[in-house]
Amino acid sequence: MSKRAIITGITGQDGSYLAELLLSKEYEVVGVVRRTSAPNYGRIQHLIDRVTLRPADLLDQLSLIRLIDEVRPHEFYNLAAMSFVPASWDQPMLTGEFNAQGVTRVLEAIRQVDPKIHLYQASSSEMFGKVREVPQNELTPFYPRSPYGVSKVFAHYITVNYRESYDLYAVSGILFNHESPRRGLEFVTRKITDAVARIKLGLATTLALGNLDAHRDWGFAGDYVKAMWMMMQRERAEDYVIATGVSHSVRDLVELAFGHVGLDWRKHVTLDPKLIRPAEVEHLVGDSSKARAQLGWEPTVDFAGLVKMMVDADLDRLTAAPQVAGPVSTS
């Protein structure tokens, strides 16, 4: 009998890769979409005939209960969130409603309808914030630096608490930054690779950035959704850090991306103080030895491979349709 899974956030970067993975494993995939005035299915267009889309919202408890009652999934992947850190300072209340209380609503719905459902919660390395140790592992204390980070700490602990209080199979994946050609244009990797492609093709001349000294542990989203699935197949629910273990600065990223198309980044990059955050996470690097030992998980794409993959994808996209390039990201 094939398994059934619900994915919230199926229209996002991770949701689209996870849907592909689960379909390849013959799952029946039900994706949650919230109502919009026009469809927002760009990342899952190629899967649209193979998944079922159902309306629900993390803000609406009854919509979640009804969804779970009608679908009766074996696995529930909660990937939906307000995921862009700067926006969390502009909308801290809404960020908490989506990312913190939204997770409580999912946990309550599962507890009430069918406590045997396995739940994956999308926790984040942003929870480590002003880091207490290097590298960060499952036992490193949290010190979030944004309303987003704070909301994810709440979500993390409410997931742990429901596991311990009600014996739910609820796992929390503490994933470090992961990217792909499907990454939103406002995140720094994609903002850079999109701009490099535009500049190379003569569609733009400059790129405004904020803190070039921030360091991140960047991996490939396709590798990270495999880890999510692996965590859900264990005997016992536990939390895992997922990371490459290698950290680079935003400056390294810029240099590599421009260099890949033969451009000198110093001629194109400007610094915009408006892009500096009220509180910064300066340096993240993860220790995923638990996941490597217990799940057998390994990343397959390194930093250089990731940057090249993303620049090449943006070049292909903009070469095919330069007229639909849209505005340059200003976030």
Question: What does 191 interact with, of ligand G4F, ligand NAP, none (CB < 5 to 8 A by kind)?
Answer: ligand G4F
- Residue 275 interacts with ligand G4F (CB under 6 A)? yes
Has 240 been annotated as catalytic?
A: no
Among 234, 277, 292, 308, binds ligand G4F (CB under 6 A): 277
By the rule CB under 6 A, 188 interacts with ligand G4F: yes
The entry of ligand NAP, ligand G4F, none near residue 303 (CB within 5 to 8 angstroms by kind) is none
Beta bridge partners of 29: 5
Where are the extended beta strands (E) located within the chain?
A: 4-8, 28-33, 52-55, 75-78, 118-124, 170-175, 178-179, 207-209, 215-216, 219-220, 240-242, 248-249, 269-271
- Say how many residues touch ligand G4F, by CB under 6 A: 22
Determine whether 124 is an active site residue.
yes
Pick from 43, 105, 216, 248: which binds ligand G4F (CB under 6 A)? 216
Considering only residues 152 to 181 of the shown chain, the ones binding ligand NAP according to CB under 6 A are 175, 177-178
Give the Cα separation of 76 and 163 in Å (integer).
14
Catalytic, 224? Answer: no
- Decide: is 101 part of the binding site for ligand G4F (CB under 6 A): no
How far apart are alpha carbons 207 and 260 in whole angstroms?
16
167 burial level (CB within 10 Å; 0-12, 13-18, 19+): exposed
Compute CA distances 208 → 196, 199, 275, 276, 327, whole Å.
Answer: 12, 13, 8, 11, 13
Q: What are the residues whose beta carbons fall under 8 Å from the beta carbon of 163, sequence distance 6 or more?
A: 169, 170, 237
Asked whether position 211 contacts ligand G4F by CB under 6 A, the answer is yes
Q: Give the Cα separation of 151 and 156 in Å (integer).
A: 9
Catalytic entry in 77, 120, 148, 169: 148
Least Å from the CB of residue 193 to ligand G4F: 12
Cα separation of 63 and 132, whole Å?
Answer: 39
The residue among 68 and 284 lying less far from ligand G4F, judged by its C-beta, is 284
Q: Scan residues 92-131 and list those touching ligand NAP (CB under 6 A).
A: 98, 122, 124
List interacting residues with ligand G4F (CB under 6 A): 83, 85, 124-126, 176-177, 186-188, 191, 209-211, 214, 216, 250, 275, 277, 280-281, 331
